[in-house]
A and B are shown apart, each in its own frame.
Chain A
């Protein structure tokens, strides 16, 4: 099992090649795939999250680690699926109708993938109807909404209102973010959560899917 601790190190270093090699070797030795995820991979990303929060690393380093973890997860996921295990959560994400800005949304999507979520990215300029249709079709747990323009923020409220009209509000958690969005606005429109950064969004998503 001591070799598996190198998996944590490989993810911390953002070394996808090493991460995949160690994962393969561990699986060949019949190591429990769930244990690899919970004992070695998630703690690595938690550590990277802490380093980011304290200003000791930047997003590019975080993304490289997330990619290393994702590469290992691709080997592990089929084994977990065969056991009937689900991903950490399933998220439909997009930028609101009328809004082209997607850097923040893309960051959140990458970080969620790195944290073991299945992410369905709808891109930019996404209307309320598409968010809801895709969330229903893909049996999502979360709908993540992003806006940079103040004039596209009202579409966030529209998604929540449309969910209510469709009688589907309770089936999905809705989280919101983007430069002009605030916790107050999230509360006002009845969203389930808000984060002002990508790392925080991952923690929020985890809390909501395990609540």
Chain B
């Protein structure tokens, strides 16, 4: 793969395409039972969830049985396939964050099994707990007070005692504005939601998470723009909104996600944070990614390229349903294990690792704008542009402009194929982006005087 002109800025943790590779990050993370992430080995990260079932007192015994079945199946297969290590993510379901005792109970159940497999079979592992951001249950959301926030704080505080080694979240501050903006392809409102609202909420929320983790000795891992950029990506995949718009939203989401690492998160980023390569390039933390292995949860157009510079390789989530071979979580684990085995074999030689990375890249990038903005060389160039700015808003604005410029250039050069109904949106979005004010306060004043103002409470963002 060739790297087009434009040297990355010195502010990036990774400045050379040769060093931008799967399995290796400038700042590896040690956690759990003998795990090290980003130190040269790609590690499978498995996540699983319940089949359709109400979460209530009377169904609780069945829920416990389901989780016990899933973790047992996954650990046994991980051991049989001799995975180098195993990261398990337990992403709670909303009632388990609203009622933290439930979330903690399942976390403990998973942790106990992981402990047993480590003690008896030497399976190196760690457990990542991801409480829900339930604050958005209320609209406009109360982000810094109220019962939902208190439930989240309680689960953060109980994470270590419940056996978690890492804490993560899919935070949603700003989503109340972003949701409608996405379906309207309103780039201006998306930039406001991400760069003004989202970034402020990330700073507030992640200071709390980092403090909770430091108090209990576990790792503050990472966040994701799932509620923003993945929503856009999935809507685009269903042909609801233009793919070029979703790709621009992905890059515009980078500065918001970056805030978590600026206030103390250490990685790995959440698996569904497809903006992860930008985070790795800028902050140097290891990242978890998902792609074709996450087709059990949602379809995407970045199934291979998302793997190119990952440190953990994930399935996003899968329901505990029976397939022809065995239960779906075990099937997912096997797919992840073989993918990791291939990457780790390639990684024995730097040249082979780069070749595999480039195959993963080239197989997706020319076909789709979202894939294009995940090209490692494009990531390094756009990340450098983003980091020339100093504030989250200015970075978000710059990210949108830079992404549009890159997509137009690649399309014009015949490197990126776009159908006419997509290509015409490049101009539409460019017209929107060009009118974004340089001054954040000007956009804030404008949004406070628009219908979007009814959707959020400025005080919840410290405004």
Contact = CB atoms under 8 A, between A and B. Distances in A.
Interface of A: 55-60, 63-64, 98-100, 102-103, 106-107, 110, 123-125, 149-151, 153-155, 179-180, 197-198
Given A100-B137, A124-B137, A149-B93, A59 B49 contact: no
Given A100-B136, A100-B137, A59 B235 contact: yes
A7 to B, nearest CB: 23
B52 interface: yes
B386 to A, nearest CB: 26
B52 A154 contact: yes
B169 to A, nearest CB: 14
Interface stretch (B123-131, B182-190, B282-290, B349-357): B182-190
B231 A151 contact: no
Given A59-B240, A60-B183, A98-B95, A155 B421 contact: no
Interface of B: 49-55, 93-95, 134, 136-137, 139, 179-180, 182-186, 231, 235, 238-242, 298, 319, 421, 425
A151 B52 contact: yes
28 contacts: A55-B421, A56-B421, A59-B235, A59-B240, A60-B185, A60-B186, A63-B183, A64-B184, A98-B55, A98-B93, A100-B94, A100-B136, A100-B137, A103-B179, A103-B182, A103-B183, A106-B183, A107-B240, A123-B139, A125-B137, A150-B49, A150-B50, A151-B52, A151-B54, A151-B93, A154-B52, A154-B53, A198-B240
Contacts of A58: 185, 239-242, 421, 425
Nearest to A103: B179
Contacts of B136: 100, 124
Nearest to A123: B139
B52 A153 contact: yes
A15 to B, nearest CB: 15
The CB with the most chain B CB atoms within 10 A, among A103, A107, A197, is that of A103
Contacts of B55: 98, 151
A43 B242 CA distance: 25
A72 B190 CA distance: 28
A98 B94 contact: yes
B186 to A, nearest CB: 8
Contacts of B50: 150-151
Contacts of A98: 55, 93-95
A70 to B, nearest CB: 14
Contacts of A99: 94
Given A55-B421, A98-B95, A106-B179, A150 B240 contact: no
